[in-house]
Amino acid sequence: MVATTVALAALLAGCTRAPSAPPADLSACDRVARVQNAATAPLLPAGPCDLPALDFGTFQQLLSQLRGTPVVVNVWGSLCGPCIFEAPRLARAARLYEGRVQFVGVDTNDLRSLARGFVLKHGYPYASVFDPDRSVLNGLKLRAPPDTLIFDASGRRVFLLPRPITEKILLRELAKVAAA
């Protein structure tokens, strides 16, 4: 019981620690590669650091624009310890499945400067949107980051994991939707 309490406290501390300073050079966002599907999905941000604010309705429109391609949605926050843990795995998988699966991040209840620093630090090669009031999180009926959802090419949600995703689980689920 004590071990469980200590582990839970450590996990919660990772999601509530004090903000750290953003990286010194946020101009690096200007040098990050631009996203490929912007022409077919106008609501998809052009670059990983753009972070436009979307409400749930607009986010649903974005998902509709992406139909025809499997989509991974990862809900994250820059101060969330479990989100930091899973970030490198998501970045690697996005590079591995580039052109076959569209990744979209949802930064929720955060500061844009911290979010941009997070994107740069973890080398996200995909776009994220900004969810300052938890509208997208609540609309998806999620409680708190991290959450990973996968939609097949028809737009049907086929996977949800409401905790940090491991590379093994992510690659297994991506193989299913990329092969379909």
Do 79 and 156 touch, CB atoms closer than 8 A? no
State the pLDDT at residue 179: 85
Q: Which domains can be identified in the chain, with CATH numbers?
A: 26-179 (3.40.30.10)
Closest by CA to 65, choosing from 40, 99, 95, 98, is 40
Does residue 153 register a pLDDT over 90? Answer: yes
- Partner residues linked to 157 by β-bridges: 151
Do 171 and 160 touch, CB atoms closer than 8 A? no
State the pLDDT at residue 70: 97
Q: Assign 5 to helix, strand or coil.
A: helix
Do 91 and 125 touch, CB atoms closer than 8 A? yes
Structure tokens at 135: 């509208």
Q: Span 168-173, mean pLDDT? A: 97
* Predicted confidence (pLDDT) per residue in 114-152, tens digit: 999 999 999 999 999 999 999 999 999 999 999 999 999
Beta strand 157-161 pairing with 128-131: unpaired
Q: Could you give the CA distance from residue 55 to residue 72 in angstroms, rounded to a whole number?
A: 18
Beta strand 157-161 pairing with 147-151: antiparallel
State the pLDDT at residue 4: 45
State the pLDDT at residue 169: 97
State the pLDDT at residue 29: 63
* Predicted confidence (pLDDT) per residue in 15-66, tens digit: 444 344 444 354 556 554 545 554 578 899 988 889 999 999 999 999 999 9
Please give the sequence-ordered ranges of beta strands (E in DSSP) within 22-142, or none if there are none. 71-76, 102-108, 128-131
User: 134 phi and psi, to 5 degrees?
Assistant: 65, 20
User: 145 phi and psi, to 5 degrees?
Assistant: -70, 160
State the pLDDT at residue 28: 55
Long-range contacts of 1-9 (CB under 8 A, 24+ apart): none
Closest by CA to 80, choosing from 46, 63, 105, is 105
The residue ranking higher by pLDDT, 179 or 23, is 179
Q: What is the pTM of this model?
A: 0.82
